[in-house]
């Protein structure tokens, strides 16, 4: 008996002293990661460089990197379930590909897993994905150092520190900065400066408080820049992994951690900056050339002269970059890069012809990323300059249902815009005449919801309202998963100002143009909603908003749908190519909404927020739908017989099958609505090259 008790007792003692003790004051201290590779679990593109620098990502687009301490650490008292205090200090450096644009950021994280399966790069920072974001079963605590402002997660700016619990929408965040002992004003700190930044994250389990401090040097500030009161006990599991995660997106930075210390129930040891591995400085060009013999000196001279001629030649041909162009946000590509990417703007690479110019397919030489390059010629230099200054903000618009602008380039009167390449082309190719493929109802419904959410983001999700002005099937592009993404947003503005400053051009496509636009010339969110209404009907019916060649007479889609609605035979309008396989309730919602959006009176149309709520089924549509009023462009052009020409040419898309010539179907309307009294003058945008 006594013998057995002794063994039990001894075992208990062993249990108390050994594993638990070592867990409770678990301490990590890495001045560089040399020789500790076996204690770190890396995945994604993370690696430890020969000098001991932990590189979480390089500047490849859309990658992620994780580095965790390999063994789990006990974070909670198993008796009372209370999280322990902890403290960590680390030194990181973010080196962006382009000095002013980060991509995306880095986070210190505490997680139940060291692999983080299914996590995504870009705004998800390699931590979570869209399905699980915000779910309490994630058990994730993170402190993010984020250099991109993401609107889905409500980021405050593109240089902030945030505390994230189970989500990437920070529970609390603040612009990056630090306090010094001399000055009580917060000093700002640029996370993506390429310089070493020290960070301290402490959790006090008595006060239930997390604090974050930053510093550009080795002095630990007395005051935190971020304090968040939270009891982490319900967030943590008993055992958790600690480490780092970083990601890149459409823009990229290299994310490095050069030193790290961590301590449970105590203060993390400080890192000595001198002992940390350094980043290689900027590549230095060798200045001294040792020329041994006169013969080689002569050769060098000849080469030098040749080179000088070459340089002069290059300068003559170089792009002239003007002062106003230097401060523009998104990446400025060189003309040479784009020329190379599109194989010299070869006609074979043309994948579309939009209202604004030709679209080429290209492959960026460095990253092998496929892109679409839109080449816009504009005779008005002022218009161009105004527009280019808007690129900065357009480039910052990010939403999964927008075609991302990656960068731009100007050369003389040409503007080149570089976008994500959308492998499946534009939506109209799937709807009208001989579609490439028949989209199922589920696909159509998803596209419609995606486009609506992208447009809601343009209208309300951004610091200023962005009006698309040219919503149509041809401007909805389909990504590899057939999600609908809006293209060409903001572009219409380029054409807003005609050569005569007293006129305003109305840009848009007939059938999608809200009637009030032709009178006022002033686009509004409501005129976008009108265009969306036409799109909704098209997607369900598989027909264009105006079909000039329809028998027995031209067809105005919304009138036709309204007639069927009134007659109680609304399901007759559904695209027969669906073979009757569709969800009737959903189809009715989309059709009803299409009619509501197509109302001639702007006030009668729903807002985008309402449209999205209806589509998501959050709110039921009203029982009674008002007549849209017969839409007939001719009634609105009080003085202009010219307008009639356009009623008969129907609009279509921007993207066609590779190599087929663009046709005159693409008659976007671009008429100048002169101020009030003067008659509408109408001019086809495509320079009259269309035979009529």
Ligand X SMILES: *[C@@H]1O[C@H](CO)[C@@H](O)[C@H](O)[C@H]1NC(C)=O
**Binding of ligand X by 261 (CB under 6 A):** no
Q: Which residue is nearest to ligand X (CB)?
A: 118
Span 416-455, contacts to ligand X by CB under 6 A: none
Instruction: For the CB of residue 542, give the shortest distance to ligand X in the complex, in Å.
Output: 31
**Binding of ligand X by 550 (CB under 6 A):** no
Instruction: Indicate if the alpha-carbon torsion angle 114, 118, 124, 128 is positive or negative.
Output: negative
Stretch that binds ligand X, among 179-187, 189-197, 398-406, 435-443 (CB under 6 A): 179-187
Stretch that binds ligand X, among 133-141, 470-478, 499-507, 611-619 (CB under 6 A): 133-141
**Binding of ligand X by 368 (CB under 6 A):** no
Three-state secondary structure string covering 633-681: HHHHCCCCCCHHHHHHCCCCCCECCCCCCCCCCCCCEEEEEECCCCCCE
* CA–CA separation, 590 and 539 (whole Å): 9
Stretch that binds ligand X, among 127-135, 502-510, 559-567, 599-607 (CB under 6 A): 127-135
Residues binding ligand X: number (CB under 6 A) = 27
**Binding of ligand X by 134 (CB under 6 A):** yes
**Binding of ligand X by 77 (CB under 6 A):** yes
The C-alpha angle with vertex 329 and arms to 323 and 331, in degrees rounded to 5, equals: 95
Nearer to ligand X, 25 or 433 (CB): 25
Stretch that binds ligand X, among 1-9, 58-66, 490-498, 545-553 (CB under 6 A): 58-66
Complete DSSP assignment for 387-418: HHHHHHHHHH---TTBPPEEEEEEETTEEEEE
CB of 408 within 8 A of CB of 415? yes
**Binding of ligand X by 37 (CB under 6 A):** no
HSE, side-chain direction, 13 A CA sphere, residue 81: 4
By C-alpha distance, which of 201, 311, 617, 218 is closest to 449? 617
**Binding of ligand X by 169 (CB under 6 A):** yes
Nearer to ligand X, 32 or 487 (CB): 32
Instruction: For the CB of residue 469, give the shortest distance to ligand X in the complex, in Å.
Output: 34
Nearer to ligand X, 80 or 567 (CB): 80
Complete DSSP assignment for 278-325: ----SPPPP------SHHHHHHHHHHHHHHHHHHHHHHHHS----GGG
Helix, strand, coil proportions of the chain in percent (round to 5)?
30, 25, 45
**Binding of ligand X by 51 (CB under 6 A):** no
Which residues are marked as active site? Answer: 470
Instruction: For the CB of residue 47, give the shortest distance to ligand X in the complex, in Å.
Output: 6
* CA–CA separation, 643 and 641 (whole Å): 5
Among 39, 627, 675, 678, indicate the residue that binds ligand X (CB under 6 A): 39
**Binding of ligand X by 234 (CB under 6 A):** no
Instruction: For the CB of residue 191, give the shortest distance to ligand X in the complex, in Å.
Output: 17
Span 180-199, contacts to ligand X by CB under 6 A: 183, 185, 187
Task: For residue 505, give the 3-state DSSP assignment.
Answer: strand
**Binding of ligand X by 79 (CB under 6 A):** yes
CB of 583 within 8 A of CB of 441? yes
Nearer to ligand X, 77 or 233 (CB): 77
The C-alpha angle with vertex 648 and arms to 645 and 650, in degrees rounded to 5, equals: 115
The C-alpha angle with vertex 376 and arms to 375 and 382, in degrees rounded to 5, equals: 140
By C-alpha distance, which of 242, 277, 225 is closest to 93? 277
CB of 680 within 8 A of CB of 637? yes
* CA–CA separation, 144 and 227 (whole Å): 14
Nearer to ligand X, 73 or 439 (CB): 73
**Binding of ligand X by 131 (CB under 6 A):** yes
CB of 226 within 8 A of CB of 108? no
By C-alpha distance, which of 542, 546, 541, 565 is closest to 556? 546
Among 26, 31, 33, 36, indicate the residue that binds ligand X (CB under 6 A): 36
Q: Is 436 annotated as a binding residue?
A: no
Nearer to ligand X, 190 or 681 (CB): 190
CB of 671 within 8 A of CB of 681? yes
Among 42, 91, 165, 540, indicate the residue that binds ligand X (CB under 6 A): 165
**Binding of ligand X by 18 (CB under 6 A):** no
Instruction: For the CB of residue 92, give the shortest distance to ligand X in the complex, in Å.
Output: 18
* CA–CA separation, 648 and 642 (whole Å): 11
Nearer to ligand X, 171 or 193 (CB): 171
Among 156, 230, 604, 621, indicate the residue that binds ligand X (CB under 6 A): 230
**Binding of ligand X by 233 (CB under 6 A):** no
- Residue burial 87-121, b: 16+ Cβ < 10 Å; e: rest: bbbbbbbbbbbbeebbbbbbbbbbbbebebeebbb
Instruction: For the CB of residue 185, give the shortest distance to ligand X in the complex, in Å.
Output: 4
**Binding of ligand X by 58 (CB under 6 A):** yes
Nearer to ligand X, 13 or 308 (CB): 13
Strand partners, 359: 352, 374
Instruction: For the CB of residue 91, give the shortest distance to ligand X in the complex, in Å.
Output: 17
**Binding of ligand X by 137 (CB under 6 A):** yes
By C-alpha distance, which of 119, 96, 91, 108 is closest to 30? 91
Among 60, 336, 424, 683, indicate the residue that binds ligand X (CB under 6 A): 60
User: What residues are designated binding site for ATP?
Assistant: 374
- Residue ranges that bind ligand X, judged by CB under 6 A: 24, 28, 36, 39, 45, 58-60, 77, 79-80, 117-118, 129, 131-132, 134-135, 137, 165, 167, 169, 171, 183, 185, 187, 230
């Amino acid at each position: 008996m006594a013998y057995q008790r002794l063994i039990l007792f001894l075992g208990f003692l062993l249990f108390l002293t050994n594993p638990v003790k070592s867990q409770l004051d678990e301490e990590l201290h890495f001045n560089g990661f040399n020789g500790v590779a076996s204690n770190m679990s890396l995945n994604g593109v993370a690696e430890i460089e020969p000098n001991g620098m932990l590189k979480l990502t390089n500047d490849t687009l859309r990658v992620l990197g994780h580095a965790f301490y390999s063994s789990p650490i006990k974070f909670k008292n198993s008796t009372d379930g209370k999280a322990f205090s902890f403290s960590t200090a680390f030194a990181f450096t973010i080196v962006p590909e382009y000095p002013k644009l980060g991509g995306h950021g880095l986070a210190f994280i505490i997680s139940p897993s060291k692999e983080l399966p299914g996590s995504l790069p870009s705004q998800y920072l390699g931590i979570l994905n869209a399905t699980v974001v915000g779910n309490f079963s994630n058990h994730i605590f993170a402190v993010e150092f984020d250099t991109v402002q993401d609107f889905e997660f409500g980021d405050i700016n593109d240089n902030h520190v945030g505390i994230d619990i189970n989500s990437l929408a920070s529970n609390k965040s603040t612009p990056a900065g630090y306090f010094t002992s001399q000055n009580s004003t917060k000093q700002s700190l640029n996370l993506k400066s390429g310089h070493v930044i020290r960070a301290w994250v402490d959790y006090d389990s008595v006060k239930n408080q997390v604090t974050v401090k930053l510093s550009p040097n080795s002095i630990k500030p007395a005051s935190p820049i971020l304090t968040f009161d939270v009891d982490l006990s319900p967030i943590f599991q008993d055992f958790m992994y600690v480490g780092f995660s970083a990601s890149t997106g459409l823009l990229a930075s290299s994310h490095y951690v050069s030193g790290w210390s961590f301590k449970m129930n105590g203060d993390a040891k400080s890192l000595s900056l001198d002992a940390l591995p350094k980043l290689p400085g900027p590549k230095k060009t060798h200045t001294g050339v040792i020329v041994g013999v006169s013969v080689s000196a002569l050769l060098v001279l000849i080469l030098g002269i040749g080179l000088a001629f070459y340089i002069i030649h290059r300068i003559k041909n170089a792009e002239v970059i003007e002062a106003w162009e230097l401060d523009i946000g998104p990446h400025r590509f060189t003309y040479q890069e784009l020329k190379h990417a599109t194989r010299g703007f070869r006609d074979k690479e043309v994948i579309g012809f939009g209202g604004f110019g030709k679209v080429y397919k290209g492959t960026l030489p460095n990253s092998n990323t496929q892109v679409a390059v839109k080449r816009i010629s504009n005779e008005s230099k002022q218009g161009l300059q105004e527009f280019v200054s808007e690129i900065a903000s357009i480039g910052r618009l990010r939403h999964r249902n927008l075609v991302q602008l990656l960068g731009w380039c100007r050369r003389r009167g040409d503007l080149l815009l570089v976008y994500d390449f959308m492998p499946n082309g534009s939506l109209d190719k799937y709807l009208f005449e001989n579609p490439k493929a028949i989209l199922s109802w589920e696909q159509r419904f998803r596209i419609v919801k995606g486009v609506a959410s992208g447009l809601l983001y343009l209208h309300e999700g951004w610091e200023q309202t962005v009006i698309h002005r040219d919503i149509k099937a041809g401007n909805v592009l389909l990504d590899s998963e057939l999600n609908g993404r809006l293209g060409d947003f903001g572009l219409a503005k380029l054409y807003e100002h005609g050569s005569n400053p007293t006129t305003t051009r109305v840009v848009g496509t007939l059938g999608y143009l809200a009637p009030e636009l032709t009178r006022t010339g002033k686009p509004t969110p409501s005129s976008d909603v009108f265009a969306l209404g036409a799109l909704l009907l098209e997607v369900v019916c598989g027909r264009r908003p105006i079909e000039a060649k329809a028998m027995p007479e031209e067809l105005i889609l919304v009138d036709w749908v309204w007639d069927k609605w009134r007659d109680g035979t609304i399901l007759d309008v559904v695209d027969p190519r669906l073979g009757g396989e569709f969800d009737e309730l959903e189809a009715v919602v989309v059709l009803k909404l299409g009619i509501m959006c197509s109302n001639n009176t702007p006030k009668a149309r729903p807002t985008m927020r309402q449209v999205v709520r209806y589509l998501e089924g959050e709110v039921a549509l009203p029982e009674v739908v008002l007549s849209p009023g017969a839409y007939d462009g001719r009634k609105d052009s009080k003085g202009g017989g010219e307008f009639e020409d356009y009623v008969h040419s129907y609009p279509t898309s921007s993207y066609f099958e590779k190599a087929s010539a663009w046709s005159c179907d693409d008659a976007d309307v671009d008429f100048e609505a002169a101020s009030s009294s003067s008659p509408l003058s109408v001019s086809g945008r495509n320079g009259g090259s269309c035979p009529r």
